[in-house]
């Protein structure tokens, strides 16, 4: 499984160089405007030249991007890839001028540079030449590898070029079935974040086209933008799915939500639908039903392949630089063949998807967001700085992170201990799903906020703040302290914190510390953390008069050391509910003056011992600002 983990890292690396392609498409589209009428007669040529230049140097961009993506933006790896491509191109063009460097070659040199960096970044040489050790060794090593690689390619490049053209002819000979198979596999691999690998083959390798200038380009995407009248079959069929099918699923989820949750779900999924329609980012919608109904996702993948087959049979050719959203559809329509047909096909597709998913959700009682209290995919962009430290805790803390990257919709992690992950906490903090790929490789799907979350997590890692992290002391629902039906707790006269409505009669420790007080009735307990915070847990409201083991039974005594999740008190839930004002259980810090800032997870259902429900940053010991 670690092999799959390495593949998902490679897939993410392929995405990095593709961020330049929308610029090329935009330049090409803008070059069609009547600049002469606007008094800028040379602007069309400038814009077209800018677009052509990006595609010309695409192999160099991929070499650099793949190397950076594999190494977490290591400059030595990027420099090695760039030098390697320069050496390769110089040798090839001087020996076999008719052979052009391809994106495949750029990707190979990028991979070599990335793995070389990971192999030699800590290399120690004798002291007198240690200047060339470590990361500085990587460009030298890759330079020699590129030299040997180029010499070998001089002999086999013509055969390889012919093989790529033959591969394109073979795929073309499969007709609509080949396009269907690609569409199906593309959607299935999206689950694992590996769809970029299969897309890379079809978009940048299959088939060749010689431009008017004699330059040969490979792959469906570059050929489409170079003017190849046969290119676009592996992209056109994605438009109905991303522009219409996924938004239709979002509307089906909204309309099948419970009435009390519908306002929040509507806001969340309208944004998700708009993101899919405009930009082709589909994961926020797909992951909403993937984990609760994987069989429905397989049906979705089959339908996506069928849609691509239909567009192929109708002779529709269209392309995109980023993804099959409305923005790319409009920008690139001038290069399309029968592209307008995608709109009626998309409308029919949307209608089919909408009624199919509403029927399936209702028929099989699928717990999509809005049908369960713990629905995820909240709209919480402004809350990211506060949730990021909690997400970091749910991942197992900074000590558990070996590597952390992000793509458009997910955090891509390599962790040292997968068992340290708190899946419930991550879902409670907004994750649509968590995918384990083995070998410590994990993906956490947060939608389009993933990059922002990663940045805030890095800030939290680099800040040396003294923090105390809290686990849930019981199973139930977390609520703001202000909602506790008691003016003392709600007014924060005892201290600041949160409260819980229990589902089970067990109270566990939310922190590491020492028991400093247990009330005689055992309805409340105080814990002091190693940082000096005094935490009060009070089971129910007006429960101090409920004496006896038939109500509360303590499993610790004063002076005991406790750890998160350790059982403190067991209580009779039914009796306490019947004979108290409320089951609301405050968890407050009584010496709140020691706290500089507070962070809370969303107020929703939690599991007993679940991490990341609250964290606090302490003031400096001298009463000043944050610990630096």
The catalytic site residues sit at: 407
List, in sequence order, every residue forming a beta bridge with 595; answer none if it has no partner: 618
From CA 439, how far away is CA 249, in angstroms rounded?
A: 34
Q: What strand order describes the sheet that includes 567-571?
A: 506-508, 567-571, 552-554
C-beta of residue 288 within 8 angstroms of C-beta of residue 253:
yes
Q: Phi, psi (5° rounding) for residue 9? A: -70, -40
Q: How many residues does the chain have?
A: 628
DSSP state at residue 101:
P
Cα 97 to Cα 104, 161, 207, 214, 547, distances in angstroms? 18, 13, 20, 11, 92
- Cα angle vertex 88, ends 65, 54, to 5°? 45
DSSP 3-state of 617: strand
C-beta of residue 391 within 8 angstroms of C-beta of residue 453:
yes
Helix, strand, coil in percent for the chain, rounding step 5: 55, 15, 30
Structure tokens belonging to residue 144: 């020699």
Residues 6+ apart with CB under 8 A from 113: 63, 66, 67, 70, 77, 78, 80, 81, 84, 138, 142
Residues 6+ apart with CB under 8 A from 593: none
Structure tokens belonging to residue 174: 């499969």
C-beta of residue 234 within 8 angstroms of C-beta of residue 178:
no
From CA 576, how far away is CA 582, in angstroms rounded?
A: 8
Query: Of 454, 185, 433, 450, which Cα lies nearest the Cα of 285?
Result: 433
Structure tokens belonging to residue 68: 């950076």
Residues 6+ apart with CB under 8 A from 104: 164, 204, 205, 218
From CA 285, how far away is CA 1, in angstroms rounded?
A: 27
From CA 466, how far away is CA 304, in angstroms rounded?
A: 50
From CA 401, how far away is CA 389, in angstroms rounded?
A: 13
Structure tokens belonging to residue 561: 């050391």
DSSP 3-state of 469: strand
Work out the number of other CB atoms within 10 angstroms of the CB of residue 160. 14
From CA 153, how far away is CA 161, in angstroms rounded?
A: 11
From CA 471, how far away is CA 515, in angstroms rounded?
A: 16
């Amino acid at each position: 499984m670690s092999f799959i983990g390495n593949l998902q890292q490679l897939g993410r690396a392929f995405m990095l160089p593709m961020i330049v392609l929308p610029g090329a498409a935009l330049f090409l589209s803008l070059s069609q405007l009547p600049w002469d009428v606007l008094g800028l007669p040379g602007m069309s040529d400038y814009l077209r030249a800018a677009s052509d230049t990006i595609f010309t140097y695409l192999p160099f961009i991929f070499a650099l991007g793949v190397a950076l993506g594999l190494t977490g933006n290591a400059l030595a790896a990027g420099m090695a890839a760039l030098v390697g491509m320069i050496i390769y191109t110089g040798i090839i063009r001087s020996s076999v001028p008719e052979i052009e460097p391809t994106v495949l070659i750029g990707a190979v040199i990028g991979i070599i540079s990335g793995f070389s960096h990971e192999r030699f970044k800590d290399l120690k040489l004798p002291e007198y030449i240690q200047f060339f050790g470590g990361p500085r060794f990587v460009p030298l090593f890759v330079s020699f590898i590129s030299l040997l690689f180029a010499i070998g390619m001089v002999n086999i490049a013509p055969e390889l070029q012919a093989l790529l053209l033959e591969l394109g002819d073979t795929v073309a000979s499969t007709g609509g079935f080949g396009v269907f198979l690609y569409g199906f596999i593309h959607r299935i691999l999206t689950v694992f974040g590996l769809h970029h690998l299969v897309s890379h083959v079809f978009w940048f390798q299959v088939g060749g086209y010689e431009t008017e200038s004699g330059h040969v380009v490979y792959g469906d995407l570059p050929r489409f933008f170079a003017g190849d009248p046969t290119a676009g079959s592996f992209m056109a069929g994605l438009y109905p799915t991303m522009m219409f099918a996924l938004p239709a699923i979002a509307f089906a989820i909204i309309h099948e939500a419970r009435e009390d949750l519908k306002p929040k779900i509507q806001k969340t999924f309208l944004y998700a639908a708009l993101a899919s329609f405009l930009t082709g980012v589909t994961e926020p919608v797909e992951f909403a039903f993937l984990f609760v109904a994987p069989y429905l996702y397989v049906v979705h993948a089959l339908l996506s392949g069928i849609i691509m087959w239909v567009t192929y049979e109708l002779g529709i050719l269209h392309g995109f630089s980023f993804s099959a959203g409305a923005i790319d559809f409009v920008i690139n329509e001038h290069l399309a063949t029968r592209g307008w047909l995608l709109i009626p096909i998309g409308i029919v597709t949307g209608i089919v998807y909408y009624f199919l998913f509403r029927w399936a959700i209702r028929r099989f009682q699928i717990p999509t967001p809005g049908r369960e209290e713990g629905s995820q995919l909240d709209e919480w962009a402004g809350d990211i700085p506060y949730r990021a430290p909690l997400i970091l805790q749910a991942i197992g803390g900074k000590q558990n992170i070996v590597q952390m990257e992000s793509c458009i919709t997910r955090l891509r992690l390599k962790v040292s201990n997968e068992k340290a992950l708190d899946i419930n906490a991550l879902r409670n903090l907004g994750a649509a799903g968590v995918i384990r790929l083995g070998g410590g490789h994990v993906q956490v799907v947060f939608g389009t906020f993933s990059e922002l979350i990663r940045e805030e997590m890095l800030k939290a890692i680099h800040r040396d703040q003294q923090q105390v992290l809290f686990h849930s002391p019981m199973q139930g629902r977390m609520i703001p302290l202000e909602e506790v039906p008691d003016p003392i707790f709600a007014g924060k006269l005892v201290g600041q914190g949160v409260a819980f409505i229990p589902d089970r009669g067990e109270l566990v420790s939310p922190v590491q510390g020492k028991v400093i007080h247990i009330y005689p009735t055992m309805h409340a307990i105080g814990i002091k953390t190693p940082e000096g915070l005094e935490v009060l847990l009070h089971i129910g409201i007006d429960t101090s008069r409920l004496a006896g083991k038939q109500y509360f039974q303590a499993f610790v005594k004063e002076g005991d050391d406790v750890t998160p999740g350790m059982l403190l008190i067991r209580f009779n839930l039914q009796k306490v509910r019947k004979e108290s004002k409320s089951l609301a259980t405050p968890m407050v810090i009584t010496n709140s003056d020691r706290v500089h800032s507070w962070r809370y997870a969303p107020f929703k259902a939690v599991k007993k011992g679940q991490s990341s429900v609250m964290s606090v940053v302490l003031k400096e010991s001298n009463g000043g600002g944050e610990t630096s």
